[in-house]
Amino acid sequence: MEKQNWTLQAGVQMDPKLADDVARMACALKSLHVYASMLIEEESCPDDLRQTVQEGLDAMTRVFQW
């Protein structure tokens, strides 16, 4: 089994296979955020896009410990 770089937050219950799939999507979102941040200056990033990305990152934090 491959070593995971995450664990579920205390109190979060999820089937291990589903948690692994969700974690992959969450890692992809984090990577996309980093990549987009490098390409787009914060001032030129639309507020609605910034808010959407932040909400996704916040949701991940509620589910996973990184």
pTM for the whole structure: 0.56
Location of structure tokens 């089937």:
15
Mean pLDDT of 44-53: 74
Q: Where are the domains of the chain?
A: 15-65
Q: What does the alpha-carbon distance between residue 12 and residue 19 come to, in Å, rounded to a whole number?
A: 10
Mean pLDDT of 54-65: 79
Tens digits of residue pLDDT in 21-46: 888 888 888 777 777 776 666 666 67
Q: Is 8 helix (H, G, I), strand (E, B) or coil?
A: strand
Amino acid letter, residue 29: L
Tens digits of residue pLDDT in 4-17: 777 889 999 999 88
The gap from C-alpha 5 to its chain's centroid, in whole angstroms, comes to 12
